[in-house]
Amino acid sequence: MMPPADVITVVGESLVDVIVREGSDEPALHPGRSPANVAVPLSRLGQRAALITQIGTDSYGALLRAHLETNGVRLVLAEPADARRAGR
């Protein structure tokens, strides 16, 4: 099912950047990637936005899904990729 015509639809990957800063043992997890980083600001600006992507069923996939949903981005065709990990 495609989004309505008044929705800007973005297509592409959704990954988690894992950043370890110098002097720290704990990695910082940052959900996003270029297509997701377009859809989220659109939604924050009041534009209905959808992201066509595939998200894994691991903890990174859960982080991505929560980030997009919290920011009002509609996920389209984002069925979990059971055999894959999300962006590791």
What is the per-residue pLDDT across 61-82, written as a single tens digit (0 to 9) for each? 899 999 999 999 999 865 655 6
Cα(22)–Cα(54) distance, rounded to whole angstroms? Answer: 32
Domains of the chain, start order: 8-76 (3.40.1190.30)
Q: Which helix (H) or strand (E) holds 17?
A: strand 15-19
CB 48 within 8 A of CB 8: yes
CB 49 within 8 A of CB 74: yes
pLDDT given at position 76: 86
What is the per-residue pLDDT across 10-56, written as a single tens digit (0 to 9) for each? 999 889 999 999 999 999 999 977 899 999 999 999 999 999 988 88
